[in-house]
Amino acid sequence: MADTGLQTEFTFTLPKGYVDSEGNVHKEGRMRLATAADEIQPLNDPRVQENSSYLTIVLLSRVVTELGSLTEVSPEVIESLFVTDLAHLQAMYERVNNGGTDFVDVMDGPAGTEGTGGGLDGPVSPTEEGEAMDVPAETSEQGPGGESGNSSET
């Protein structure tokens, strides 16, 4: 089978980092593209059924495959992140999963004219192995579970 060039994992660097029980800070990690099951199966989790906001926690724990030297990224790890780091991961999730492709370039002008390509605060492009993806936390207007925030866009 031919290589399609589809990138399914992306590296990231958390702004603050997860601090484990021994005081170690874990900032570097990897996130994979979400599958349909990643978005559907957490809906059966009793924590999500009790509090829909918990969907973000469960979903991110499924798609964050590495975080520093941790052997597992559990919901408990995600819920222990600083708010800045959680927002960073939510924004990254939205950009890599809802952009629809490995590279997002939105035309800003009328159809048929050249835009600036600044959609979603700039293009999302595949990262090189070991290179952090620059995803500002402010880019997400909607969390991984579909929760809406205040949006100034129409």
Percentage helix, strand, coil for the chain under 3-state DSSP, each rounded to 5? 35, 15, 50
Percentage of the residues of the chain whose pLDDT score is greater than 90: 58
Determine the pLDDT at residue 48: 96
Determine the pLDDT at residue 1: 58
Determine the pLDDT at residue 122: 38
Residue 6 binned pLDDT confidence (cut-offs 50, 70, 90)? confident
pLDDT digits (tens, 9 = 90+) for 104-115: 344 344 444 444
pTM: 0.64
Residue 99 binned pLDDT confidence (cut-offs 50, 70, 90)? confident
Determine the pLDDT at residue 129: 41
Among positive and negative, which fits the CA dihedral 94, 78, 27, 84?
Answer: positive
Lowest mean pLDDT across 5-14, 28-37, 91-100: 91-100
Which phi and psi angles does 11 have, rounded to 5°? -85, 155
Work out the angle between the directed axes of helices 54-63 and 83-98 (0-180°, nearest 10): 70
User: What's the mean pLDDT in 21-25?
Assistant: 97
